Amino acid sequence: MQLTFWTPGSKASLIVAMMATLLLYQTAEPATTTSATVLQQCPSIEEEIVDLEMLSQALRDSTAVGLFEKIKLKGSIDDLVKRLEAYHDGARKFSIEQLEEQYNVLLMRIASHLQNKDQLLHQQLCNAWLTIWLDLEDSGRFREKFST
Amino acid sequence: MITNRLKTSLLLRCPPAVLILAFAAVCVGCSKEKPPSHEDIIRGDFEEILDLNEQKCDGIVGFEKISDLEYLVACGNGESYRIHVSHEGHVNVAPHDP
């Protein structure tokens, strides 16, 4: 007795189905960045922060953060950019997951400074959290932003 | 006698300033700080977050990622804290009972 699904015609369609599955798997969207699943209710704002440079500038101008803290935060942001630059240049001291964690915890630190003190900048930070990371994570976009 | 000659010739060839500079360079090389590890970086940020939220800690001895933007942090004084970000981007710190 011959099983129907082993006929040459069905075998071909099975292969086609498998190839289609593989193709779908390869072209599937990469997993969404984790912070996107958390920061779902950031208040809507008119003036948006779109990159790390804008965030640094806004932090410099904010009265919520003291001078010493501003210098420390600026140093931490610069250090993170250097580590990302090294990563995009091929260094593998830190994995991209570690760098993302460093970015998230640094932004948690910045948010702690701003919340209850600079509402607007805190809301801008909430909205920009994911966007900034997408620029930092992508090698091409990172070079566009930070190439001198 | 030979060693004495060697010492004299070395001192003559290398003026003291050069020797001092060489020694200083070696010292600078030795005292160069080791680059921080991933854990050091995260610990430093958490210490500041706890400080900003007026929570005593005496140095972070460990941290654990619970979920996205949510951590448990263990402190040197025996306390542990849950640090997490709300949907509105607010950083909350609360004592955690293990």
Supply the ipTM of this predicted assembly.
Answer: 0.74
Q: Which residues contact A100 (CB under 8 A, 6 or more apart)?
A: A33, A34, A133, A137
Residues A70 and A119 in one domain: yes
Q: How many CB atoms lie within 10 A of CB A23?
A: 10
> Per residue in B2-55, pLDDT tens?
556 655 555 556 566 655 666 565 555 555 678 899 999 999 999 999 999 999
Search chain B and give the residue with CA nearest A128.
Answer: B89
Say if residue A146 is exposed, middle or buried (CB neighbours under 10 Å; 0-12, 13-18, 19+).
middle
State the pLDDT at residue B85: 95
In chain A, how many domains are there? Answer: 2
Question: Considering chain B, what is the average pLDDT of its residues?
Answer: 82
Residues A72 and A9 in one domain: no
Residues A26 and A41 in one domain: no
Residues A63 and A86 in one domain: yes
State the pLDDT at residue B61: 96
Residues A24 and A79 in one domain: no
> Per residue in A100-137, pLDDT tens?
999 999 999 999 999 989 999 999 999 999 999 999 99
Q: Band of the pLDDT at A4, cuts 50, 70, 90?
A: very low
Residues A13 and A69 in one domain: no
Question: Which residues in chain A touch residue B48, judged by CB atoms under 8 angstroms apart?
Answer: 109, 112
C-alpha–C-alpha distance, residues A15 and A25, integer Å:
15
Search chain A and give the residue with CA nearest B53.
Answer: A112
Residues A73 and A1 in one domain: no
Residues A4 and A71 in one domain: no
> Per residue in B63-88, pLDDT tens?
999 988 999 999 999 999 999 999 99
Residue A1 has pLDDT above 50, yes or no: no
C-alpha–C-alpha distance, residues A131 and A49, integer Å:
9
Smallest Cβ distance to A39: which of B46, B71, B87?
B87
Q: Which of residues 14-43 of B touch A (CB under 8 A)?
A: 35, 38, 41-42
Interface test with B, best of A103, A105, A110, A115 (most B CBs within 10 A): A105
Residues A135 and A107 in one domain: yes
C-alpha–C-alpha distance, residues A46 and A127, integer Å:
11
A122 and B91: CB-CB below 8 Å? no
C-alpha–C-alpha distance, residues B48 and A112, integer Å:
9
A114 min Cα distance to partner chain B (Å):
9
Segments forming the whole domain that contains residue A54: 37-146
Q: Which of residues 56-95 of B touch A (CB under 8 A)?
A: 65, 68-71, 83, 85, 87-91
- In the block, residue with structure tokens 């292969």: A15
Residues A26 and A43 in one domain: no
Q: Which residues contact A73 (CB under 8 A, 6 or more apart)?
A: A59, A65, A109, A110, A113
C-alpha–C-alpha distance, residues A115 and A13, integer Å:
58
Element (H, E) at A5: none
* Whole-number percent of chain A with pLDDT over 90: 61
Please report which residue ranges of chain A form alpha helices under DSSP H. 8-27, 34-38, 52-61, 67-88, 96-114, 119-137, 139-146
pTM given for the model: 0.74
